[in-house]
Structure 1
């Protein structure tokens, strides 16, 4: 493990970097970010040109849509956690950064993700989310296994019928959408009036919500003015949103009863549940699961053999049952999930306004930031920091977090909007479903390696992650009979 500490006292220096000319500078940076350089190179080039991992830059969407595109970017593992410290940063209306989507896209309400913990509604919604996760805890494993066993059975049929290939991403979207609805509320969305259209409706709504900070891969001359300069009219997605809302209002009736006891109206609570379930849970799994499989496929058969031994051994010890206690014993399996979250966190950007004048420390210097300035963190820079993770910082190392020394690195895993060594609470902004995500990530590997000894896949790029196409599986030759 590379040390993140410096033996010398850091120097106090002004934050380097330039915002460029008004409008023109932000526009040029936006084009670099989306088209000329891409996200990673955009930030890496600013680090290199300024000789600093704390820099002044513009972040999208920039001209015409951003309240102010100018930020102080924190691009290393040491400075980044300032964004979690609520004594130093305010989190009001910053979940999407320097722009704010129209409230009509969320039923006219400022959803919990946009609220600072100092606002009264924040704690009420967080209590509701924790209540759902706690009350449905026993449903997660059986619901996951029933949904994803169907997915893998379907893929096996496709492998046999479609020239030895089966795409994972598309069926994963439907399966993950059904899973989160059934796991949280006991009702599969596809068994309601939504039918199989839930993921498509969700994708369209997410596009309208986040289009200023995403790219669809269209030609720049078409896409940039269309997506990054003006808000798409919310009425164009109102039908999709209403259909999603109706599912949650009917399926989540018990949760909405709880919401009323907490002082929330059923309507406001329902809009919050829709946002949290679709954007946070479903949107996260849509990206995470292909990422895990891509990493494991590329790692090769030796890792597969180790995972098979660990997973089947733990399940056998549990009497053939997949239990939370059995999952907890799977140290390598957990490490693989953490490593995937470290390399490709589902949410890459964090923001906050400085509450007071601050001194922010990187590995090499201390920087003065004024009250009110927007702080921005690009998480992949922080979680691939070579000063912490050494020469393999940008590589997938499946057993990185195994053992005592490996566990010491967990405090530098930030995917949940907090350290992996910390637990979310009512009065912070860490992901309420942090433990849920780790459990389902492990369950994906458990379902895979209880079923197969090994597998092969082609891995490519998609707009918001990776694309995985299975090219072969070897059915399990031994292992515990599972319930």
Structure 2
């Protein structure tokens, strides 16, 4: 999803007398980075790690180490921007370079992507970036009319399974169902071919998950003791040959199913091979990986909000669908203002990609709410997005709460510029000149579609929420079928 931000941000080439040195400490060489990594994963956790550094140094712009650190990272030392005002410097392509920084201070082997540096690792200054980004934008535009029917077909079947599981056992595991369904949906929506209906079969999601782990393992924890996880996950790269067969199977599906999209890439000057590897990465890592994280988070937030919100969403969604003659249309979706606000609020609270990075292209001044700081050319800037998108100076006393109607009305719409989940402001648009996620609008659309499927079918439901490898885990614990309206026949 958020693979690739243009927008406003602090910074200039002049140094004012008011500019301060960035506070913070990297600690002793090697030892400091290892100690910080242990805090990050085991002793404090992500949120507390950053919050404690803000408190320690009295600043939301600080010098810290970020994982994975030695011996995997090129350099774990960063200048962290941890508030809503300083964070957007990471979107400004005049001020930061994004080359090889998608996963941050380390880069997975290109053996995992066919030998290519795919779009997410390219800076907009590199000619190939524009070609690949344009291919992805063109693909999304060409398939826009296929998204709604593909979603309804795939996720309607998912909710059939939820109904059956809840009736049988009193519980339905959404994450497991979503993993399989989202993979088929992405393939059908983008290319018109469900992966499970090809030689890839039902094994696609497991192969994709394994391939994703090989790239993200320096940034995850399996819940094991540090004595096992540190040498296994956070010290050395897992060897790519162990997922070579999985990747080969995925590539075979994309090379056959994505021929029209590959044609677009070839017309833009890419080789068919490079176009296919980029389509595989964007579809599997960005889109599928994003939906694996985002949908459980959205469902958990809505489920926990309770029946009053469910009644409001059901009324809005069913009313808009009824006005459209009982059809779920793009025009009907645009009328669902509360549903849009709910999706944006879920993305604000729990962005699918929490870390952003950039190298300063020149000496900069970066402004927080409280001060202006000097950053030197070449230094790595790092942003932990939840600190910025839950900034109480912007979102007030409820910054850490799920407020479904936060973005409604004129005042609510003014807050959208501080929603950064797509590696850019929600008020910006992805282009070949920035690194904002090409699927930004797609993600907001499918988030609304999930709400539509839920509230055409159910009056209300309950969930239990936990955590898993990449984020939130959710189980349905009860569902109450709709008794009237366009969804009552389901």
Q: Could you state the TM-score of these two structures normalised by the residue count of structure 2?
A: 0.95
Segments of 5+ residues of structure 2 without an aligned counterpart are 1-15
User: Residues 212-268 of structure 1: CA distance to partner in whole angstroms, max 9, x if unpaired?
Assistant: 111111111000111111111110110001001111000001111111111101110
Is 1:262 matched up with 2:280? no
Is 1:336 matched up with 2:339? no
For residues 119 and 140 of structure 2, the distance between their equivalents in structure 1, rounded to whole angstroms, comes to 16
Segments of 5+ residues of structure 1 without an aligned counterpart are 1-8
Q: Which residue of 1 aligns with 2:474?
A: 468
Q: Which residue of 2 aligns with 1:127?
A: 134
Any conservation in 2 of the 1:10–1:366 contact (CA below 8 Å)?
A: no
For residues 465 and 219 of structure 2, the distance between their equivalents in structure 1, rounded to whole angstroms, comes to 25
Is 1:49 matched up with 2:80? no
Q: Considering Cα pairs closer than 8 Å and 6+ residues apart, tell me whether 1 or 2 has the greater RCO.
A: 2
User: Residues 144-190 of structure 1: CA distance to partner in whole angstroms, max 9, x if unpaired?
Assistant: 0000000000111111111x111111010000000001000000000
- In structure 2, which of residues 193, 197, 201 is the aligned counterpart of residue 191 of structure 1? 197
- In structure 1, which of residues 335, 358, 361 is the aligned counterpart of residue 364 of structure 2? 358
For residues 320 and 89 of structure 2, the distance between their equivalents in structure 1, rounded to whole angstroms, comes to 39
For residues 291 and 93 of structure 1, the distance between their equivalents in structure 2, rounded to whole angstroms, comes to 28
Q: CA deviation at 1:463?
A: 2.3
Q: Could you state the TM-score of these two structures normalised by the residue count of structure 1?
A: 0.97
User: Residues 439-459 of structure 1: CA distance to partner in whole angstroms, max 9, x if unpaired?
Assistant: 000000000000011111111
Q: Secondary structure at the match of 1:407?
A: helix
Q: Secondary structure at the match of 1:421?
A: coil
Q: Secondary structure at the match of 1:424?
A: coil
Q: Which residue of 1 aligns with 2:160?
A: 153
For residues 405 and 76 of structure 1, the distance between their equivalents in structure 2, rounded to whole angstroms, comes to 20
Is 1:176 matched up with 2:182? yes
For residues 295 and 11 of structure 1, the distance between their equivalents in structure 2, rounded to whole angstroms, comes to 42
For residues 203 and 245 of structure 2, the distance between their equivalents in structure 1, rounded to whole angstroms, comes to 12
For residues 13 and 120 of structure 1, the distance between their equivalents in structure 2, rounded to whole angstroms, comes to 37
Q: CA deviation at 1:80?
A: 0.1
Q: CA deviation at 1:11?
A: 4.7
- Alignment length (residue pairs): 474
- In structure 2, which of residues 412, 415, 422 is the aligned counterpart of residue 409 of structure 1? 415
User: Residues 419-451 of structure 1: CA distance to partner in whole angstroms, max 9, x if unpaired?
Assistant: 001111111100000000000000000000000
* Structure 1 residues 172-321: aligned runs within 5 Å: 172-321=178-327
Q: Which residue of 2 aligns with 1:5?
A: none
Q: Which residue of 2 aligns with 1:6?
A: none
- In structure 2, which of residues 93, 96, 99 is the aligned counterpart of residue 86 of structure 1? 93
Q: CA deviation at 1:64?
A: 1.0
- In structure 2, which of residues 28, 38, 62 is the aligned counterpart of residue 31 of structure 1? 38
Q: Secondary structure at the match of 1:72?
A: strand
